[in-house]
Amino acid sequence: MKNIATIILNRNLPEPTNALVEHIMQYDGEITDIYVVEAGSDEDKISKYCTWYVDTPDVKKNGLRYSRGMNYALSELWKTNKFEKYEAFFLITNDAELENKSTLKPLMEILKEHSRVGILSPCSNNWGEKILLANDSIKYFWFIHNNAYFLRREFIEDIYNSDEPGFMNFLFDGSNFRGYLTEVELIAKAYANNWAAAITAQVIVEENESYLINHSDIIKTETYNENLKLYVEEGLKWIKKKYGFNNRWVMQQYVKMFYESFFEYNPELKKYKIK
């Protein structure tokens, strides 16, 4: 039974995208449908597994980035009445590198064991969070990098925008184009609605940044350093306009407030809290 939807975002890098699709087919193909969003790719650089090719002038020029790309796919599934058939959604970019074993089966088992987890993330060997996990296979966190999110459908249904579903606002705020603190905003919404966000060390996913560092010209984006600069500058303007916050630390304290409240309402889950 294919009760998981895997969504992969690509822009002009068909080889790693195709390899990622085939990897998931090999290890988890019996439990997941795989959808590929082409974010304004050149016609000769489209994945052979393309599901949706978004080729409006703006997207051809600027791409979609993570937030708009995932919004696009999720809203398309919702509009075509496919959304409700899935219990969970695995959102990844094409620079994700998975282990040579099942990724989705253990993530799904964890969701079944932890009924209040709405956001689940695999860990990375390079994250400090792996040290915090120590001998624990899972902990609930108030910050998680968003290179691979496994989201429970019921959590999405609690917070999504079904009035005007589209690439700008279905789940993520598309006005935050480069996604600075996108993950913090999503996690705040989770804890504010009595859902937890967790990291598990049972599954490892790495992000291969070499694609952006070495192939920014092919992807048709800014260089790594220029993108990082704009990511912060534009993101700070976004949180100032939307929340009135002057820096990322205030935003992080905002989500931590909801994090602390979650355990007041769910004291039986305190063993998963970061101390």
Percent of the chain's residues with pLDDT above 90: 74
pLDDT band at residue 230 under the 50/70/90 scheme: confident
Angstrom distance (rounded) from CA 181 to CA 200: 21
User: Which two structure tokens, joined as six digits, stand for 67?
Assistant: 């937030």
Helices (H) and strands (E) in the chain, counts: 11, 9
Q: Say yes or no to pLDDT of 220 above 70.
A: no
Predicted local distance difference test score (pLDDT) of residue 213: 54
> In 3D, which of 200, 206, 209 has the Cα closest to residue 228?
209
Query: 3-state class of 78 per DSSP?
Result: helix
Name beta bridge partners: 197.
119
Q: Which of 185-199, 201-215, 243-257 has the lowest mean pLDDT?
A: 201-215
pLDDT tens digits along 126-138: 888 888 887 778 9
Q: Say yes or no to pLDDT of 215 above 70.
A: no
pLDDT tens digits along 12-30: 899 999 999 999 999 999 9
Q: Say yes or no to pLDDT of 210 above 90.
A: no
CATH code of 146's domain = 3.90.550.10
- Which segments of the chain are extended strands (E)? 4-10, 32-39, 52-54, 88-93, 96-98, 117-123, 138-140, 148-152, 196-207
In the predicted model, what is the mean pLDDT of residues 188-207? 95
Domain count across the chain: 1
In the predicted model, what is the mean pLDDT of residues 102-119? 97
Amino acid identity at 246? N
Q: How much is the pTM? A: 0.93
Boundaries of domain holding 119:
4-272
pLDDT tens digits along 140-172: 999 998 789 999 999 999 999 888 788 899 999
pLDDT tens digits along 39-85: 989 899 999 999 999 999 998 888 898 999 999 999 999 999 999 99
Angstrom distance (rounded) from CA 106 to CA 137: 11
